[in-house]
Amino acid sequence: MTNPLVAMRARPHPASAPSAVTTLAWRAMLKIKHVPFQLFDVTVMPIMFTLLFTYIFGGALAGSPRQYIQYLLPGVLVQTIIFITVYTGIGLNTDIHKGLYDRFRSLPMWQPAPIFGALAGDLFRYSVASALILVMGLILGFRPQGGVVGVLLAVALVMVFCLALSWCWIIVGMLVRTPESVMTTSFIFLMPLTFASNIFVDLKTMPGGLQAVVSRNPVTHLANASRGLMHGEPVATEVMWVLAASAAIVIVASPIAMRMYHRER
Amino acid sequence: MTDAIETRGLAKRFGDTRALDGVDLRIRQGSVFGLLGPNGAGKTTTIRILATLLQPDAGTAIVLGHDVVRDARKVREKVSLTGQYASVDEDLTGHENLVLMGRLLGLSWREARTRSTELLEAFGLADAAGKQVQTYSGGMRRRIDIAASLVAIPDILFLDEPTTGLDPRSRNQVWELVRRIAGQGTTVLLTTQYLDEADRLAERLAVIDHGRVIAEGSSRDLKASVGSSALHLRLASVDQHARAKALVSRVLGDGVLPGSDPMSVTARLANPAQAAAVLTALSQDSVDVAEFSVGNPSLDEVFFALTGHATGVEDSEGRP
């Protein structure tokens, strides 16, 4: 038998940046496989919201549950994926405190690979959650007029925004001590961000002061764009708005996050 | 042969705490070197600087000919670090963790899988290969952690307190692994607060306290610096401690070594024959001795003699 302690005497050439990112994305998927709960808890809540809102408020808000879900579902998709972004920060925080981050940092690989690997893994998580929400919607009577292309475009746009937003939670993940604090801190921002939007109700039903706030919320624009794309309505302005907001978040947050990531601790 | 590690005047502070205050070390290639000291002495900080995880505020560290600050990547290609906490992904299985490491080190999927199987076998973890690491016992966790550092055999392996918190059997397994790794030519730098661990594993060791190296040499050198031989007495009762100490000191003159154990007295002997005189005096004064032995002083006593305080009394050496 070969002696495993000498077998790998000559060290291989370290992984290239894309290969390291792919490998770390594979790790993120394995985590979902082993801990499916982290997908479950962020998906069940929106499913519950959709059911409750559709059947309790649907009649009052839009005439009938079936009419309301046409309005609600594209927004619930936005909310669900936005909530999942928190896991990027939670995952990074866990790695730092478990010492895994130290091991990654002492490897001769492209240093930001763990962050980009995590983001790539998140894309998979977003896709699974999106599929679940859409299937449930179709069962409940959601009929997107924009067809498959419209729905896919909407999902893609939501993902772009959410990947950008993830950078904020990467910063939070490095700032606070425990994964629980990442969750709490992020939700302090996410709750108003998603509820002070037009995900659930039309902007026109809100008081004037609130309308001013809600109409400037990027989530409102994302929900509008998502609805428009799914139903085949022209929403180029909203899409541009979302892309601009995403770019702005990345431009501001990612250098801060990367600087903090490289900072020693 | 060049030195594996050479540091000069390494200094590091965290806020007001001076973690390292001028550490000079020279570690020969192919040896097991022990960094011994209580919590908070600066052991972990030293190892983290050498593994490129921290940058020193002053001084230089050369690892296998590369400066840890300027040539960090070169250093990373040659060293592996196993930290104090199991630095593997607890959600993943043992096998998946090792495949992950193999891939990040540049192996193909197939090579990484083969290598993982090989290491799991060698580390006695084959049965647990498909189980999540969070279900592993402390000893298994430590082994998978060390295995993760050996996916590609490093020229230098840093082990930060490799046996802290392990039961005696797991501890022995880890010791055996360290000996095997060192036997294959890898330089091992380990930190420990267990004196017997340093004594058993390390050919040379440095005693570190308050961020400074206060003694360096083989364990024999260090023991010799405290005295040629020592008498260890273990008393039958705590009440007689003061009386026993006074008697020993009367018979031997100034030989009693400071110690923290209220049940025992240790004294330096000019020659082993003095032991008989001490025992006679104790028995005449009806001090009950449960056990006695004459031998080299333990590293515990060495530490006490060098620093004037016992080991393990400082605040824990946390992360900054």
DSSP B101-128: HHHHTT--HHHHHHHHHHHHHHTT-GGG
The count of domains in chain B is 2
User: B40 in helix, strand or coil?
Assistant: coil
pLDDT interval class at B315 (50, 70, 90): very low
**Final residue in a domain of this structure, among B163, B191, B223:** B223
Which residues of chain B does A110 touch, with a Cβ-Cβ cutoff of 8 Å? Answer: none
Residues B207 and B134 both lie in one domain = yes
In a domain, A50, yes or no: yes
Domain assignment present for A157: yes
How many structural domains does chain A have? 1
CB within 8 Å: B184 and A98: no
Whether B81 sits inside 8 A of A20 (CB atoms) is: no
Looking at the structure, tell me whether residues B105 and B172 fall in a common domain: yes
Per-residue tokens: A104: 């990654």
d(CA A35, CA B280): 68
Q: B92 and B168 share a domain? A: yes
Determine whether the interchain pair A11/B153 forms a contact, defined as Cβ–Cβ distance below 8 Å. yes
Q: Is residue A5 part of a domain?
A: no
Domain assignment of residue B16, yes or no: yes
Residue B115 banded pLDDT, cuts 50, 70, 90:
very high
Q: Which of A23-37, A107-121, B230-244 has the lowest mean pLDDT?
A: B230-244
Q: How far apart are CA B198 and CA A143, in angstroms?
A: 71
Least confident piece of the model among A233-237, B22-26, B199-203, B222-226: B222-226
Are B266 and B186 members of one domain? Answer: no
> A47: Cβ–Cβ under 8 A, 6 or more apart, which residues?
A132, A133, A136
**B105–A11 C-beta distance less than 8 A:** yes
Q: What's residue A10's pLDDT? A: 60
Mean pLDDT, residues B122-128 taken together: 91
User: Within a domain: residue B125?
Assistant: yes
CATH code of the domain containing B279: 3.30.70.1150
Reported confidence tier of residue B314, pLDDT bands at 50, 70, 90? very low
Give the whole-angstrom CA distance, residue B95 versus residue B76: 23
Same domain, B145 and B286: no
Taking only the tens place, the pLDDT of each residue in B269-292 is: 877 788 888 888 888 888 888 888
Burial B143-164, CB ≥16 within 10 A → b, else e: bbbbbbbbbbbbbbbbbbbbbb
Give the residue from B165, B194, B223 where a domain finishes: B223
| One domain for residues B244 and B172 | no
B61 with B162, same domain?
Answer: yes
pLDDT at A253 over 90: yes
> With 0-12 CB in 10 A as exposed, 13-18 as middle and 19+ as buried, what is A35?
middle
pLDDT band at B316 (very low <50, low <70, confident <90, very high): very low
Q: Looking at the domain assignment, is residue B319 inside a domain?
A: no
Angle between helical axes of A65-84 and A113-140 (0-180°, round to 10): 170
The residue type of B152 is A
What range does the domain containing B82 cover? 3-223
State whether B206 and B249 are in the same domain.
Answer: no
Three-state secondary structure call for residue B130: coil
Q: Which residues of A are less than 8 Å from B104 in CB distance? A: 14-15, 20, 23-24, 104, 107, 109, 113
B19: CATH: 3.40.50.300
For residues B110 and B5, give the distance between their C-alpha atoms in angstroms, rounded to a whole number.
34
Contact A12 B106 (CB under 8 A): yes
What pLDDT score was predicted for residue A81? 92
Mean pLDDT (whole number) for B250-267: 80
Q: Return the pLDDT at A265.
A: 59
On whether residue A234 sits in a domain, the answer given is yes
Summary mean pLDDT of chain B: 86
Q: Phi and psi dihedrals of B311, rounded to 5?
A: -75, 160
Per-residue pLDDT at B312: 47
| Confidence (pTM) | 0.81
d(CA B230, CA A179): 52
Residue B152 in this model has a pLDDT that exceeds 60: yes
The side-by-side arrangement of strands in the sheet containing B204-209 is: B79-82, B156-160, B187-192, B32-36, B204-209, B212-218
Model pLDDT, residue B199: 84
Q: Are residues B245 and B166 in the same domain?
A: no
Kindly indicate whether the ipTM for this predicted assembly is greater than 0.95, answering yes or no: no
Q: Could you give phi then psi for residue B235, rounded to 5 degrees?
A: -85, 155
Interface residues on A facing B, Cβ-Cβ cutoff 8 A: 2-9, 11-15, 19-20, 23-24, 26-27, 30-31, 34-35, 95, 98-100, 102-109, 113, 264-265
| Residue at A245 is within a domain | yes
Per-residue pLDDT reduced to its tens digit, B206-236: 999 889 998 888 888 877 776 667 888 888 8
d(CA A25, CA A125) in angstroms, rounded, equals: 11
Position B304 confidence tier, pLDDT thresholds 50, 70, 90:
confident
B29 domain residue, yes or no: yes
pLDDT in tens, B40-94: 889 999 999 999 989 999 999 999 999 999 999 899 989 999 888 778 999 999 9
Report whether pLDDT(B311) > 70: no
What's the pLDDT tens digit per position in A8-54?
Answer: 556 678 888 999 999 999 999 998 889 888 777 777 877 887 888 88
Nearest CB to B76; choose among A5, A108, A265: A108
Residue A144 lies inside a defined structural domain of this protein: yes
Tell me, what's the pLDDT at B269?
Answer: 81
- C-alpha to C-alpha distances, A87 to A91, A94, A168, A172, nearest whole angstrom: 6, 10, 11, 11
Do B249 and B236 fall into the same domain? yes
Answer yes or no: do A8 and B115 touch at CB < 8 A: yes
Q: Where is the domain boundary, B167, B195, B223? A: B223
Mean pLDDT of the region A133-147: 92
The answer on B154 and B132 residing in a single domain is yes
Question: What pLDDT score was predicted for residue A3?
Answer: 62
Instruction: Say if A176 falls within a structural domain.
Output: yes
Q: What is the pLDDT of residues B155-180, one digit of tens each?
A: 999 999 988 888 888 888 889 889 98
B124, B121, B139, B127: which is closest to B93 by C-alpha? B127
Per-residue pLDDT at A198 exceeds 80 = yes
Contacts A5 to B, Cβ<8 Å: 122, 150, 153, 180-181, 184
Highest mean pLDDT among A169-178, B77-86, B190-199: A169-178
Å between B116 CA and nearest CA of chain A = 10
| B50 within a domain of the structure (yes/no) | yes
Q: Over the range A143-165, which residues count as b (16 or more CB within 10 Å of their CB) and which as e?
A: ebebeeebbebbbebbbbbbbbb
Write the DSSP assignment of A214-265 as a string of letters. HHH-HHHHHHHHHHHHHHT---HHHHHHHHHHHHHHHHHHHHHHHHHHHS--
User: What range does the domain containing A80 cover?
Assistant: 17-262
> For tokens 């690997």, what's the residue?
A117
Whether residue A87 is predicted with pLDDT greater than 60 in this model: the reply is yes
Are residues B260 and B152 both part of a single domain?
no
Test mutation, B91, B115, B157, chain A, max A CBs within 10 A: B91
For residues A214 and B310, the model is more confident at A214
